[in-house]
Amino acid sequence: MADDETRVGVVYHDAVSDEQQAAMNWLRTQPMDTRVLSFTELQSGTADVDALWWHRDAPFEGREVRAATVEAFESFLADGGGLLLTLRALSAVERLGIDPVAPDVTGVESVTEPTGVLWRPIYDDHTAVSAFDSVRIPVCDRGAVPIARYERVVPSRGEVLASAIRGERDVPHEMTVVSWNRGSGVVGVGAPVAFDEPADPTVATARSDLVAGCLSAVVGGDQPHRPKSASSLAALREALADDPTRPRYHFTPPANWLNDPNGLICWNGQYHVFYQYNPAGPFHNAIHWGHTVSDDLLHWRDEPVALAPSPGGPDRDGCWSGCAVDDDGTPTILYTGGNGRWQLPCVATSPDPKLRRWEKDPGNPVIEEPPSELELLSSEHWEVEFRDHAVWREGDTWYQIIGSGVVDRGGTALLYASSDLREWEYLGPLLVGSDGHGAVWECPELLELGDRSLLHVSNYEDVVYFLGRLREGTFEAEHQGVLDHGDFYAPQSLRDDDRYLTWGWLPETRGPSAQWDAGWSGVLSLPRVLSLGDDGRLRQRPAAEVDQLRRRRLSTAVPDTIGGDRHTLGVGGRTLEVALDVSLADASAFELSVFESADREERTAIRYTRESQVVVDRSASSRDGIGATDSQRMPVTPYDEPLSLRAFLDESVLELYANGRHCLTSRVYPSPESAGISVATEGGRASLRSFDVWALEAAITPGPRPSSRAGEEPQ
């Protein structure tokens, strides 16, 4: 910790600016020994200080950070010194050899409202924020202030500690505070911590406390750095283990952000699931590929990040969705690389039997531009909407489809062919959607299910599927539907012997600020098996292995006939499977209520109605109003057959399978104590042919679990 004995050297180039002088004047009011060092003095090697502070407001010009200056900083850090970089100085990390990725946004920002840092809750014990009881810290409320920050990219070696706030708004994609574990610590603060600007006393105090805390942090050492090993990822997971909204047997990221499942492959007897991952926090930005592996489809182990953007490469701004194939014994990934306004296909291969290390093809991107034969959609962000890959092999030829959209027509899946996964020939659109199918198709996938093919696409709202036949490079759709009627998106599948296993992304329905405060976002569904029934229609069911999660069967004592009064079960829990078969005798509806509080003010109702629907009513799912409050509807026909329902409850996930045909997934956020279950009918009686409840075990157990766990009998 910094104190009267701490020696801080304030460095400057050429001349001291008014802003630098104001910062020095402030520092002299702090309990630290302050010294002022020019770059020349720094290069002389006589700086007898514990930490250097480079506070710079002017833009960089020419080669003012010369080799001798870089060597002086490197030598100081090598000797165990600490370094604080503020305002534009943060943008010098590449020049100083601290990180190959510099902030991509620098300049002067006009501040007209309280603006500051949005600290990551997983680092709320960091010395820099020891003076605060909130992760939202305003440090400037007016003026034209120099700044530096990461937006489309993230540092390669450093760990993002904070993003930005503007007034009442969180702005996660503006990353303003970064730490590096060099010397006794390097911290960069590109937020508007300007001392030569007037500020409200409360804001000025916060600015002072933050900068003083950062100086203490770089003196104290042991700065957080990017978690890259399995053990460091496990530590992140353990830090969030007590969150009562975090699923226990559905896969979640160790922390931060998860979206699309990617690169699903069974390799050397293990199941590998990669996924879209942002290491900088629980928001969609600067996408990497996270990695998890399982021996049994149930219990998952975190692996190091598999793909990261390459500075200056075609994936500089993100390694987005793609797939994995076995290319004659070489595991190969095709993924979308983002660079500026372009997104193009890239290839990577792995020489590692555990698939931890991947080598990007030097010829990337392997398709240099989208096809010009169609008028493909452009957008605010992309020159052409052209992304996400599904690849398969027929004989000696590889085929892939890429998602896009045709102007004034609809979403499309574009078909390509190749002999080597590097040189691709455009064959034309596999299928172009019409009204109601979405303007852009993401994450297309084509699966062979016996004598029919299944094409599914994600259109920003739903996962639409088409059953039909592939003939001469075009898809002839015979039937269409929706793969899941709830919070489910961007699924991907792998071939596992004679079955397809499919996972989807279950996005959060709570707001960005709630996700930030939780420290994580995004869940993967249970693995599903997709197949065709005897009637030629799609079937979906949980993989058979899911049954092995059943830890114990709970006594329910539910009557065979339900009518009149509500029946409350004597057991409950938040990590359960409920399986039942019910027929509507003369009732208009049967209701299963889960995540229920003792007073029933908080509950999620699952209703089976005579109108041939299963309805999930989320209007009372959260006492605090967190998350969606709408009703979700899933058609089940005909109504007069028994409804066979499997409901998987997992803290904030409700995943339903109806009659082995239909799926509906909900995200709800009940209070920790809401773990009850009850059943009731409306307008008559219903017949329960079976009713079973199992407590399910966790898929990942990094540390202690909250006290209210599955299968506990209410007290």
Domain ranges of the chain: 7-220, 258-360+488-525, 367-483, 544-696
Please give the model's pTM, rounded to 2 decimal places: 0.95
3-state helix/strand/coil string of 497-552: CCEEEEEEEECCCCCHHHHHHHCEECEECCCEEEEECCCCCEEEEECHHHHHHEEE
**Distance of alpha carbon 458 from alpha carbon 439, whole angstroms:** 10
Residue for token digits 């305003």?
A: 138
pLDDT of residue 710: 41
Q: Is the dihedral of CA 192, 195, 201, 206 positive or negative?
A: positive
- Pairing assessment for the beta strands 589-596 and 653-658 based on DSSP bridges: unpaired
φ/ψ of 234, rounded to 5, equals -65, -35
Q: What distances in angstroms separate CA 372 from CA 185, 367, 571, one per listed residue? A: 51, 13, 61
pLDDT band per the 50, 70, 90 thresholds, residue 4: low
Q: Which two tokens stand for residue 108?
A: 């002067």
Q: What percent of the chain has pLDDT over 90?
A: 88
pLDDT surpasses 60 at 715: no
What integer is the mean pLDDT of 424-439?
Answer: 93
Cβ contacts of 596 within 8 Å, gap of 6 or more = 572, 602, 603, 604, 674, 675, 676, 677, 678
pLDDT of residue 62: 67
Q: Which of 99, 170, 260, 317 is catalytic?
A: 260
Q: What percent of the chain has pLDDT over 70?
A: 97
pLDDT surpasses 90 at 698: yes
pLDDT band per the 50, 70, 90 thresholds, residue 3: low
pLDDT surpasses 50 at 705: no
pLDDT of residue 191: 98
What integer is the mean pLDDT of 647-667?
Answer: 97
Query: What value does the mean pLDDT of the chain take?
Result: 94
**Distance of alpha carbon 419 from alpha carbon 417, whole angstroms:** 7
Give 258-360+488-525's CATH code, choosing from 2.115.10.20, 1.10.1060.10, 3.30.1330.10, 3.40.50.300: 2.115.10.20
What integer is the mean pLDDT of 457-475?
Answer: 96
Evaluate whether 382 touches 342 at the Cβ level (below 8 Å).
yes
**Distance of alpha carbon 521 from alpha carbon 502, whole angstroms:** 20
E strand intervals along 407-451:
410-418, 424-432, 442-449
The CATH homologous superfamily of the domain defined by 7-220? Class I glutamine amidotransferase (GATase) domain (3.40.50.880)
Residue for token digits 């329905």?
A: 509
Q: Give the burial string for 651-674 (b: 16+ CB within 10 Å, else e).
A: bbbbbbbbbebbbbbbbbbbbeeb
pLDDT of residue 122: 95
Q: Which two tokens stand for residue 686?
A: 């219903």
Instruction: Say if 258-360+488-525 and 367-483 have the same CATH topology.
Output: yes
* CB half-sphere exposure, 457, CA atoms < 13 A: 29
Q: Which two tokens stand for residue 379?
A: 């957008």
pLDDT of residue 225: 81
pLDDT band per the 50, 70, 90 thresholds, residue 376: very high
Q: Which two tokens stand for residue 585?
A: 């005798």
pLDDT band per the 50, 70, 90 thresholds, residue 675: very high
pLDDT surpasses 60 at 711: no
pLDDT surpasses 80 at 435: no
pLDDT of residue 84: 98
Q: Which two tokens stand for residue 165?
A: 């706030």
pLDDT of residue 309: 97
pLDDT of residue 701: 60
* Residues facing residue 293 across a β-bridge: 272, 301
| Burial of 218 (C-beta count, 10 Å sphere; 0-12/13-18/19+) | buried
Q: What distances in angstroms separate CA 296 from CA 173, 269, 545, 553, one per listed residue? A: 36, 9, 7, 21
Q: What distances in angstroms separate CA 399 from CA 391, 404, 567, one per listed residue? A: 6, 16, 55
Amino acid letter for position 275:
Y
Q: Is 599 annotated as catalytic?
A: no
The CATH homologous superfamily of the domain defined by 367-483? Glycosyl hydrolase domain; family 43 (2.115.10.20)
The CATH homologous superfamily of the domain defined by 544-696? Exo-inulinase; domain 1 (2.60.120.560)
pLDDT of residue 170: 98
pLDDT surpasses 50 at 204: yes
Q: pLDDT tens digits, residue range 564-619?
A: 889 999 999 999 999 999 999 899 999 999 999 999 999 999 999 999 999 999 99
3-state secondary structure of 110: strand
The C-alpha angle with vertex 320 and arms to 317 and 325, in degrees rounded to 5, equals 140
* Residues facing residue 138 across a β-bridge: 116
pLDDT surpasses 70 at 312: yes
pLDDT of residue 640: 65
Residue for token digits 């007898």?
A: 48
pLDDT band per the 50, 70, 90 thresholds, residue 466: very high
Q: pLDDT tens digits, residue range 205-235?
A: 999 999 999 999 999 887 888 888 888 898 8
Q: pLDDT tens digits, residue range 49-73?
A: 999 999 999 998 866 788 999 999 9
